[in-house]
Amino acid sequence: MLKWPDVLNLAKSGNPAPDRKVVKTDAEWREQLSDEEYHVTRQAGTERAFSSEMCSLFEPGIYSCLCCDTVLFDASEKFESHTGWPSFTQPIKDNVIAYRFDGPAFLKRIETICNTCDAHLGHVFPDGPAPSGLRYCMNAVALQKAAKV
């Protein structure tokens, strides 16, 4: 189970190798994604808070990266954060998400990126529920929900 010191260490020292890499040109991403999806995932944008029904979905299933289909989260790790974005406590595997510092160093804000295709997903914060204490605050537009595998 990842905890905040682990996330800080990964952002500082480097991320684990992904199982696979997906690399596409900017033109290929633009062709595949809507304008909003492209803005969020390829340009590190943020969707409007409370703009997705995904925030209130709490049924079994898995969530994968919209860009490359990499499985990122299990719905059993999803919780109501009241922030306006879907929130999770842990990724499905330690190597599916990459971490990097985002913004001024004093904030210690950590950006979360799909480790397979480098899509911007959101951020992770140390204010989530026990036992991990993590809150993966994700842009719903960067995720797609699938049936439980």
One digit per residue, pLDDT tens: the chain, 149 residues? 999 999 999 999 999 999 999 999 999 999 999 999 999 999 999 999 999 999 888 889 999 999 999 999 999 999 999 999 999 999 999 999 999 998 766 666 899 999 999 999 999 999 999 999 999 999 999 999 986 55
Residue 54: inside a domain: no
DSSP string over 32-90: HS-HHHHHHHHH---PPTT--GGGG--SS-EEEETTT--EEEEGGGEE--SSSS-EESS
Residue 88: inside a domain: yes
Residue 66: inside a domain: yes
In this structure, what CATH number is given to the domain that contains residue 110?
2.170.150.20
Q: pTM here?
A: 0.94
Active site residues: 137
Residue 53: inside a domain: no
107 DSSP 8-state letter: G
- Domain containing 34 equals 4-12+20-48+59-146
Residue 85: inside a domain: yes
